[in-house]
Structure 1
Amino acid sequence: MSVRTYAVILLTGALSACQQTAEPIKASLGEGWQLVWHDEFEQNTIDPTKWQHEVNCRGGGNDEQQCYTARSENSFVESGLLHIVARKEQYTGPLHNADEVTRDAERALLATQPFTSARLRTKHLGDWRYGRFEVRAKLPAGQGAWPAIWMLPTDWHYGRWASSGEIDIMEAVNLNTQTDDKTAPAGSLETRVHGTLHYGGPAPENVYSGTPYRFSDADNPADNFHVYALEWQQDEIRWYVDNVHYATFRHDQWYSTSQQADGSFVENSGFAPFDQRFHLLLNFAVGGNWPANVNDKGVDMSGYPKQMLVDYVRVFQCSQNSETGKGCASVQPSAVHIKGKRQ
């Protein structure tokens, strides 16, 4: 059962049993954050008013080896936790998610993968511009395991990926394998999680920038629950782990270009692409271009099923200025300032 320190019931002599009140959920850091959306996973099923399942076998565009399904074998709620389960099983399903294609011929395309898993999203159920996003989770381990907590644009205002951006709150690959981190002592295990932005132009004109957060071996994120958070305001995005502010990316380091009908590119003004509404995604991928090419390389087929556990997801908006998201920042001077890239 997950720990619920935020929901202590306050009883006084003036309150009867039917007048119980709960302490409000507060952000882990900072003042002025107001809760606007959350899921504590206390119900018996995944809430369809908050989450959609993506159903496809296209490998996420990264040569991943899973089919995402809506089956209870791959995602379910139990004991106050969301379970996202990757299973080693040959599975055939639609190549594309239903809302990704418009023609019947594309909808009929099938693909087969050696794993199944789940990818949940809040698209059109929870969409936000600016805020603080907190997720408490325990991650899967092993070569090829790729859990992620991230955000995509809901409206793709500036065009296809990555003109409209991508915000990765947390990604990890190959936890508990031998690390290839050259700054770590020899023989250390992989403990890094990564915060990243994808931006620039439409692929292959895209770029990305980010930085890792390193846990100690004793506190590996595959062995323990941790809180992964992101604060997003108009001119700045910040990453946190367990209330440690470890990275900042400022607007003068990101950019967005859109491709015109004649093939030329136009740079978008202001704070593009991170000035539009985004939605949340939770998923557990297996294999793919990133995990298969680092650490021990490839995909370890043993040890399945494996799971990603999520205790809660919480979204806050800044009461000081909801239009810009500014005024509630939790800043620590030790945070790395990420440098952007130009294609």
Structure 2
Amino acid sequence: MKSSTKYFKRQIFAAVAIAVIGLSSCSKKTDDDGLVYVPPVPAGPPVDKGWTFETTPTWADEFTNTGAPLTSNWDYDTGGSGWGNNELQFYTNTTNNASVANGILTITAKKENMGGREYSSARLVTRNKLDALYGRFEIKAKLPFGKGTWPAIWMLPTDRFYGDWPKSGEIDIMEHVGYDQDVVHFTTHTEAYYFKINTQKSSMKRIDGVSTAFHLYRVDWTPYAIRGYFDDVKVFEFANEGTGYKVWPFDKRFHLLLNIAVGGDWGGAQGVDTSIWPQKMEVDYVRYYKMIDK
């Protein structure tokens, strides 16, 4: 016959073990971000409720000032580390590479020695200025041209809740490489679907004159799907599969980035034409519209 003391101790041990297992199932240790909460796997994909968006922008920059971009709207990523893609530019935070005049933001990439690099450019971010969960982003822009240019209009997670790239996701509203003129790409990256394992979700469309005229680049982001539009024509849709954050980390806030990279693994895949610089991306406006919840 069991003693009551031994039985009681076994019950306490079992309770503690269950508690430890429960704690370990909702967090994990990463190399650089400490404990990261991992939510339970959803039962299935969400229902598309047909979400719409407000008709007046919640946040916008029409670039009506003169000089540097407004500090109330924009910050900068700076440096010349290669940015994970072997890029050639050094990003600055000066009007040498990002300036506003006549209603236009101009990001300029130049061939000049800067920070140990042979090119300078700018990478503007709305981090901690505009961080949004769901909504519509519209950016009207004219792109640079020539071999070695790699402009982008894109989004990154502000808090990296699920871990470092690509675990917390990326939304590329527009990417263009100069050696493939007038072909524009819309892409999303996640831990399950990203370019280094060749599983990224992506669409491309030829748009004549992306470097000679302004075109509208847009994302509509809801709990159900990320949808991409070029000149208001839908070119991309990635629906939430309802299988967890490895596929869909897009339930946390993101911010916007505007930049021109030089060279790099993709932009420089066919070399860099040293005779074309400076090159510029011009932005007429940036507008964000809140999603109307249902």
Mapped contact 2:203–2:236 kept (Cα < 8 A)? yes
Partner of 1:37: 59
Would you say 1:214 and 2:203 are equivalent positions? no
Question: How far does the alpha carbon of each residue in 1:63-121 deviate from its partner, in whole angstroms, 9 at most, with x for none?
Answer: 000000012111100111001000001111xxxxxxxxxxxxxxxxxxx1110000000
- Please give the residue correspondences for 1:151-170 in structure 2 after superposition, counting only pairs within 5 Å: 151-170=155-174
The CA distance in 2 between the partners of 1:31 and 1:54, in whole Å, is: 30
The CA distance in 2 between the partners of 1:56 and 1:84, in whole Å, is: 16
How many residues are aligned here? 241
Partner of 2:259: 283
The CA distance in 2 between the partners of 1:136 and 1:205, in whole Å, is: 31
Gaps of 5+ in 2: 1-51
- Indicate which of 181, 191, 196 corresponds to 1:200: 191
- Indicate which of 144, 154, 171 corresponds to 1:150: 154
Would you say 1:62 and 2:74 are equivalent positions? no
Question: How far does the alpha carbon of each residue in 1:214-252 deviate from its partner, in whole angstroms, 9 at most, with x for none?
Answer: 11xxx3201110010000001101011111111111111
Mapped contact 1:159–1:202 kept (Cα < 8 A)? no
Normalising by structure 1, we get a TM-score of 0.67
Partner of 2:287: 314
Question: How far does the alpha carbon of each residue in 1:287-323 deviate from its partner, in whole angstroms, 9 at most, with x for none?
Answer: 0001222xxx1111112111100000000012243xx
Would you say 1:134 and 2:110 are equivalent positions? no
Q: State the Cα distance separating 1:202 from its structure 2 match.
A: 11
Secondary structure in structure 1 of the residue aligned to 2:249: coil
- Indicate which of 264, 268, 274 corresponds to 1:292: 268
Partner of 1:272: 248
Q: State the Cα distance separating 1:154 from its structure 2 match.
A: 0.3
The CA distance in 2 between the partners of 1:130 and 1:288, in whole Å, is: 30
Partner of 1:248: 237
- Indicate which of 77, 84, 103 corresponds to 2:100: 77
Partner of 2:28: none
The CA distance in 2 between the partners of 1:202 and 1:252, in whole Å, is: 12
Would you say 1:50 and 2:41 are equivalent positions? no
Mapped contact 1:50–1:125 kept (Cα < 8 A)? yes
The CA distance in 2 between the partners of 1:115 and 1:229, in whole Å, is: 29
Secondary structure in structure 1 of the residue aligned to 2:110: strand
Runs of 4+ in 1 over 4 A off after TM superposition: 201-207
The alignment-based identity, stated in percent, is 42
- Indicate which of 264, 285, 305 corresponds to 2:278: 305
Gaps of 5+ in 1: 1-29, 93-111, 180-189, 258-270, 322-343
The CA distance in 2 between the partners of 1:136 and 1:253, in whole Å, is: 32
Normalising by structure 2, we get a TM-score of 0.77
Which of structures 1 and 2 has the bigger CA Rg? 2
Q: State the Cα distance separating 1:208 from its structure 2 match.
A: 2.0
- Indicate which of 202, 217, 228 corresponds to 1:239: 228
Would you say 1:90 and 2:113 are equivalent positions? yes
Classify 1:49/1:308 alpha carbon distance in 2 versus 1 (closer, same or farther; 3 Å): same
